[in-house]
Amino acid sequence: MARKKIALIGGGQIGGVLVQLIAQKQLGDVVLFDIVEDLPQGKTLDIVEASRVDLFDVNLRGTNDYKDIEGSDLVIITAGLPRKPGMSRDDLLVTNAKIMKTVAENVKQYAPNAIVIVISNPLDAMVTLFQKITGFPTNRVIGQAGVLDSSRFATFIAWELGVSVKDVNAMVLGGHGDTMVPIVRYANVNGIPIMELLERKYNDKNKAKEVMDAMVNRTKMAGGEVIKLLKTGSAFYSPASSAVAMSEAILYDEKRILPTCAFLNGEFGVKGYYVGVPAVLGANGAERIIEFKLDTEEQTALDNSVKAVKGLVEDMTRLGF
Question: Which DSSP category does 174 fall into?
Answer: B
Cα separation, 289 vs 266, in Å, equals 10
The one-letter code for the residue type at 307 is K
The per-residue b/e assignment along 271-309, b for 16 or more CB within 10 angstroms, e otherwise, is eebbbbbbbbbbeebbebbeeeebeeebeebbbebbebb
The burial class, CB within 10 Å (0-12 / 13-18 / 19+), for 135 is exposed
Question: Cα–chain-centroid distance for residue 66?
Answer: 23
Active site residues: 176
Cα separation, 63 vs 46, in Å, equals 14
Tell me how many helices (H) and strands (E) the chain has.
11, 14
Cα separation, 169 vs 186, in Å, equals 8
203 Ramachandran zone, left/alpha/beta (phi>0; psi -120 to 50)? left
Sheet holding 168-169, edge to edge: 168-169, 188-189, 192-193
Helix ranges (H only) for 135-204 are 146-161, 194-202
